[in-house]
Amino acid sequence: MAISLRVVVIGGVACGPKTASRLKRLLPDADVTMIERGGVVSYGACGLPYYVEGIFPDVEMLTETPVGIPRTPVFFEKAKGFRVWTRTEAVHIDSKRKKVRVRHLDGGSEEDLAYDKLVIATGGRPLKPPIPGMDLENIWYVRELEDASSLVEAIEQKNLKRAVLIGAGYIGMEMAEALKHKGLDVTVVEMFDQIMPQFLDKEMAMLVQKHMRSKGVNLALEQRVISLQGNGKVAAVETDKQTIPADLAIVAVGVRPNDELAREAGLLCSPRGGIVINGYCQTSDPHIYAGGDCVVNQYVHPITGAPLYVPLGSTANKHGRVIANHIAGLTSPFQGVTGTGICKVFDYTAGRTGITEKLAKELNLDVETAIWAGPDLPHYLPASRVLFIKMVASRRYRKLLGLQVVGMGDGSKRLDVAATAIFFGATLDQLGNLDLGYAPPYSPPIDPIATTAHLLLNKMNGFARGISPLQAKQRLDAGDDIVLLDVRTPDEYRAMRFPDERVVHIPLGALRERIDELPRDKDILSFCKVSMRGYEAQRILNAAGYDRVWFIEGGLLGWPF
């Protein structure tokens, strides 16, 4: 009788269960064992902030299938066909003998598991900053079910009212909303001068910041945490600029790969952290695979070709499928990620795919950018909401390199279109001509992502001369002798004015008749509500011989200051 292929999977949250489940579908006779150090397997950690907020009543729902069946070890054995050992830790890998030494945490006993193929899916662990006071009570890292359940219990039973979030990334943004909805006073501390510094360009982040402040969240930017103070439990967070009272603190300053087991086994790891894998998620030992938050892939970024660490459940599940396929003999490589991420921040969506303008400059890439603002649906529909899009493209190759979406409008569909375009190397011309679904409840006749592509093409072709809000603000603050040309209607002008004495108001419809009122020896920055009319004003002025004209991209709606 032939011996079944023996596969051991270390880690039971995302990549591990995906690998084991897929493998049993491909190779039903494979002998698969998944071990997990914790007591819970296959849970949706990304849903933890929404449990804290109170959107669903039981944290255990994050372990259930879509039809409500708990994903327990018994479920995996009966429904999927593989063994799951919880509260079991892998303590040593003997790659020469192809054995894993495991320790059963409840009894302390140890045993060896033999394998033909080994999968390491040990995930990541939250960074713990080396600052005094991190061992005080009422400090959380929201990574596991117990973190969220104990946090909710403490808020309710101890009447905690003041929360300080250290770090303004994904978790910081989502937890700020969750805790604010629970009635807490919330302050977010971030050492950089913007929220989501690795995710959004500054002017896009500032739009989200503006929205967060309107919801009552305090933002302490450009502040470094020095210590957490308190007698037994946290009472304040001290930064280099102030002391913030706190009943609880959430530390969300990043995640590092949990690669210690692999390093100890002699597998190749990156000096900056993470197990090095090839396109099939194999480690330096071809019989050992790795995926999820514990790895860094050497070929992941299709734009830069540089290693990219993206600790997301979506990436972990992609790795799991690639690993199972390769073990089963299907050569379908992991083709990388474009750094797509999305986050809900109160009524705003914040998303990004590809590279930011900031990263492009750091990489010395020759890029052009454009910022578009406008409704996600036709203006006459009550459901229409404002959306802001920033697009980054290669000047030389006219290819889309990155896109950011911010606002109340439907940014997710535009983000996904852009992620697909970047993955397949689409040019702006191709993106602007995609046959996207149109009906008034879903989109304007020309979708916002296509309109943004057209705007960027107009800039590249020399028709549109846009200036970003940050560039415009720098010129205003420098006291430049310029003209701010407001081309909105009189009613719009009366309702909301740009607070600067250099503003000249000439409605677009009257611009041709009143064009001589504008000086030819000064720079002119035109704008309207979203700057579509600002662009048209620039073209009218250009046709009349004015060559020192730019429009402020995004208009008044996109002005983040």
Q: Could you list the active site residues?
A: 46
Token readout for 467 is 């200036």
- What is the rounded distance in angstroms from the CA atom of residue 471 to the CA atom of residue 322? 44
Contact yes or no for 460/395 (Cβ under 8 A): yes
CA angle 36, 38, 39 (to 5 degrees): 100
What are the strands, taking DSSP E only, across 116-242? 117-120, 124-126, 139-140, 162-166, 185-190, 218-221, 225-229, 236-239
213 burial level (CB within 10 Å; 0-12, 13-18, 19+):
exposed
Contact yes or no for 556/496 (Cβ under 8 A): yes
**Closest C-alpha to 210, from 198, 225, 195:** 195
- What is the rounded distance in angstroms from the CA atom of residue 200 to the CA atom of residue 206? 9
Token readout for 387 is 């959306």
Contact yes or no for 184/155 (Cβ under 8 A): yes
Question: 546 to each of 259, 360, 551, how far by Cα in Å?
Answer: 61, 32, 13
Contact yes or no for 402/352 (Cβ under 8 A): yes
- What is the rounded distance in angstroms from the CA atom of residue 360 to the CA atom of residue 375? 28
- What is the rounded distance in angstroms from the CA atom of residue 99 to the CA atom of residue 88? 15
- Any residues with CB less than 8 A from the CB of 178 and at least 6 apart, and which? 49, 50, 52, 53
**Closest C-alpha to 559, from 74, 551, 65:** 551
Longest dimension (CA), the chain: 94
List the end-to-end C-alpha distance of the chain, in Å, as a whole number: 73
- Any residues with CB less than 8 A from the CB of 553 and at least 6 apart, and which? 370, 371, 372, 373, 466, 467, 468, 469, 531
- What is the rounded distance in angstroms from the CA atom of residue 328 to the CA atom of residue 325? 5
DSSP 45: G
Contact yes or no for 450/434 (Cβ under 8 A): yes
